[in-house]
Amino acid sequence: MKRTLEHIEYNKNTEALAKFAKALGHPTRIAILKHLESQSCCFTGDLVDVLPLAQSTISQHLKELKNAGLIQGELKPPKIKYCINKENWKIAKNLFQQFFD
């Protein structure tokens, strides 16, 4: 089967959409993203104050969001400051919009 550029792009977009959707598949991760969107950036401890979860649980959710590329972390010893990855956030929004249209 001959693979066209359109076919390759389709697979790339489909895989990216699935990665983002998987990361958004937990209510805590959605809450974290909403908080980050309203605060621009925060530390893990800030999220512990906002969400009724242990720091280790929040850290695991942050790891999933970071692995999906939806957030980024900046080391500010001894803490990590998390922000939404604006470039990937825009890509995710576009992919979801295309999917639902």
Are 1 and 46 within 8 A, CB to CB? no
Are 72 and 82 within 8 A, CB to CB? yes
Are 93 and 24 within 8 A, CB to CB? no
As a whole number, the mean pLDDT across the chain is: 89
Record the tokens describing residue 71, joined without a space. 């957030």
Residue 20, burial from CB neighbour count under 10 angstroms (0-12, 13-18, 19+): buried
Bridge partner list, 72: 83
* Per-residue pLDDT at 24: 96
Which residue range forms the structural domain that includes residue 60? Answer: 5-100
Q: Model's pTM, two decimal places?
A: 0.84
* Between 10 and 47, the higher pLDDT residue: 47
Q: Please write the tens of the pLDDT for every residue from 75-99.
A: 888 889 999 999 999 999 999 999 9
Q: Please write the tens of the pLDDT for every residue from 49-63.
A: 999 999 999 999 999
Question: What percent of the chain has pLDDT above 90?
Answer: 63
CB-based contacts of 68, cutoff 8 Å, min separation 6: 19, 20, 22, 23
CATH number at residue 76: 1.10.10.10
pLDDT band at 30 (very low <50, low <70, confident <90, very high): very high
With residues binned 3-state (H G I as helix, E B as strand, rest as coil), the percentages for the chain, rounded to 5, are: 65, 15, 20
